[in-house]
Amino acid sequence: MDIKKNITGDSWELLMAGRVDGPAANQLEVEVLAAIRAGAKAIYVNLANATFLCSAGIRVLLQYHRQMKGKSLVFLVTRPSTEVAATLEMTGFPELVEK
Amino acid sequence: MTHQLDLILLNRESEIARGQDQLEQFAAAHHIPDRKLHEVQVALEEHLTNILHYGYEDHGDHEISIGFGLADDELRLQVQDDGRAFNPLAHPTPDLSLQLEQRPVGGLGIHMIRKSVDGVEYRRVDGKNILMMIKRI
């Protein structure tokens, strides 16, 4: 999966399309770690074009949401597709989504 | 009338995507709505991932048999593997009421399987796990 990046100052947007399966979750983690190393203060994972989100993907989102929040930084999902929103609701993680 | 597609996957991560591609093609051929397809895909992904990550005690090749069957507005997805005995129905449901910071990250996949389909049946037969996931279409 190609993960596109929009970087504005210290705010990073990572855009994922298609199936966010195990390998895509690993790729996301690599990109998130790169953003953190580069000093990102806010990371937004845009899932508007994601067709599904597996539990490995949720684990990456949860782990870095907690880590960033613990440092008073921002890590959120933006514009989840209907499918992704349903999965986050089903697993009890709607707070991971930007309001 | 029953429509059936059977396939064999190997115990490799890349094979999960092949199984998902086949499921998408089967769903398209039989006009299964996207929302239903998505829910079945979640269940398939999580179950195959569990088999690959926890099912085998060796590093050898293993076959995973998958059958998609569609009849009477019901999609039946059977997955058979020769990994260690594992009944996902025997695992407790995660506590979704905990605060985000306190939520454990494990156990989500099995919860997602249960919530994504309408029925799950498990059998252990001749050293094989057989999981049937049933989705009303």
What's the ipTM?
0.87
Q: What is the per-residue pLDDT across A2-53, written as a single tens digit (0 to 9) for each?
A: 899 999 999 999 999 999 999 999 999 999 999 999 999 999 999 999 999 9
Cβ contacts of B72 within 8 Å, gap of 6 or more:
none
Q: Which CATH fold topology does A4-96 show?
A: Transcription Regulator spoIIAA (3.30.750)
Strand order, beta sheet including B119-125: B3-10, B63-71, B74-81, B128-136, B119-125
In chain A, what are the domain boundaries?
A: 4-96
β strands within chain A, DSSP E: 4-8, 11-20, 42-53, 74-78
Place of tokens 């094989």: B128
Distance from CA of B73 to the nearest CA of A (A): 21
Nearest by CB to B105, from A52, A59, A86: name it.
A59
Element (H, E) at B93: none
- Residue B108 to residue B93: CA distance in whole angstroms: 8
Domain boundaries defined on chain B: 3-136
Domain B3-136 annotated CATH 3.30.565.10? yes
Interface probe for B, chosen from A1, A49, A53, A55 (most Cβ of B below 10 Å), is A55
B132 SS3 class: strand
Q: Which of A51, A55, A83 is closest, CB to CB, to B108?
A: A55
What residues of chain B lie within 8 A of the CB of A87, using their CB? 42, 112
- pLDDT tens by residue, B34-59: 999 999 999 999 999 999 999 999 98
